[in-house]
Amino acid sequence: MLDGAFVRLEPLDAEQHANSLFEAAAAPGADDRFRYLFDHAPADLSALRSWAEKAEASLDPLFFAVIDKATGRAEGRQALMRVDTVHGVIEIGNIMWGPAITRTRIATEALFLFADYAFGLGYRRFEWKCDNANLPSKRAAERFGFSFEGIFRQHMVVKGLNRDTAWFSIIDSDWPRLRAGYERWLKASNFDSSGRQLTKLVFNL
């Protein structure tokens, strides 16, 4: 478990998390939310539970539920994946943040907790990859401090369609500067009573 100020990341547990995860996954906008993921938006709770049982058993990707500490509900999921202990590389992927946490401090802290955990374990490189057509994901990677490294053309076939993959990374020498920026931004004093940021996430101070 990884515990932050606003979010808690718990190893995915189908029995514990399926109900609230289904509500987050199936909320309005589900088709757009799952457009670039490997799985489809769940048709019903049974489908989500079946997916969650398989995800719970997986070691790579290693799935976590994203828990809003204010409500105790699982409002999303994300995974550590493509773990390469020989070369010190690890990736965040399979991200599904429901509408209650998308573009909020909860999602930002969920990303921060994964990165801080990875570098704390001694990993040298933390990766973010997405379909090059997924403009919101590319914008998120840049906001989170990842560096764009290029495009792997015809890298994958996902749901029967070609995927050109955009690669982003943070490396260990970047992390002290980025970590300081996250810590400044995540202070409770940086948010108003509605949870809106007072200053933007920046890394160059």
Q: Which residues contact 47 (CB under 8 A, 6 or more apart)?
A: none
Terminal C-alpha separation, the chain: 31
According to the model, what pLDDT value does residue 133 have?
97
What own/partner pairs with CB < 8 Å and gap ≥ 24 does 182-185 have?
182/108, 182/109, 182/112, 182/116, 185/105, 185/108
Q: What is the pLDDT of residues 36-51, one digit of tens each?
A: 999 999 999 999 999 9
Structure-block tokens of residue 50: 């079946």
Q: Is the dihedral of CA 79, 116, 178, 25 positive or negative?
A: positive
Q: Which residues contact 15 (CB under 8 A, 6 or more apart)?
A: none
> Model's pTM, two decimal places?
0.95
Half-sphere exposure of 135 (CA within 13 A, CB side): 0
Amino acid at the residue 157: V
Show pLDDT as tens, one digit a residue, over the chain (205 residues): 999 999 999 999 999 999 999 999 999 999 999 999 999 999 999 999 999 999 999 999 999 999 999 999 999 999 999 999 999 999 999 999 999 999 999 999 999 999 999 999 999 999 999 999 999 999 999 999 999 999 999 999 999 999 999 999 999 999 999 999 999 999 999 999 888 999 999 998 5
According to the model, what pLDDT value does residue 204 have?
81
